[in-house]
């Protein structure tokens, strides 16, 4: 599962979600959905803005949590 480190980066930069929303021109509802991982996609514009305002790289913005069960695939899947 991909997680965005927005809350951690806000704390690191001593900024608030309100400050980020105002600068990015994003609604509170949409920002909170992104933070909670309730979205299935995110635009490149948002990624660019998050990096710009949170003073980070995309690698610092995203965190990939892989479940052990997702790391392995069956022999059947390998032979496709």
This prediction has a pTM of: 0.79
Whole-number Å distance between alpha carbons of 22 and 19: 5
pLDDT at 1 over 90: no
DSSP-assigned states of every residue in 13-73 = TT--HHHHHHHHT--HHHHHHHHHT--S---HHHHHHHHHHHT--HHHHEEE---HHHH--
CB atoms within 10 A of CB 78: 7
CB 46 within 8 A of CB 4: no
**What does the pLDDT look like over 4-21, one tens digit per residue?**
999 999 999 999 999 999
**What does the pLDDT look like over 21-72, one tens digit per residue?**
999 999 999 999 999 999 999 999 999 999 999 999 999 999 988 766 655 6
């Amino acid at each position: 599962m991909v997680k965005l480190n927005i809350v951690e980066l806000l704390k690191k930069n001593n900024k608030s979600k309100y400050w980020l929303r105002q600068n990015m021109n994003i609604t509170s509802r949409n920002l909170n959905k992104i933070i909670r991982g309730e979205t299935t996609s995110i635009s490149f514009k948002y990624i660019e803005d998050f990096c710009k305002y949170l003073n980070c790289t995309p690698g610092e913005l995203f965190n990939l949590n892989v479940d052990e069960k997702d790391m392995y695939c069956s022999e059947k899947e390998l032979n496709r």
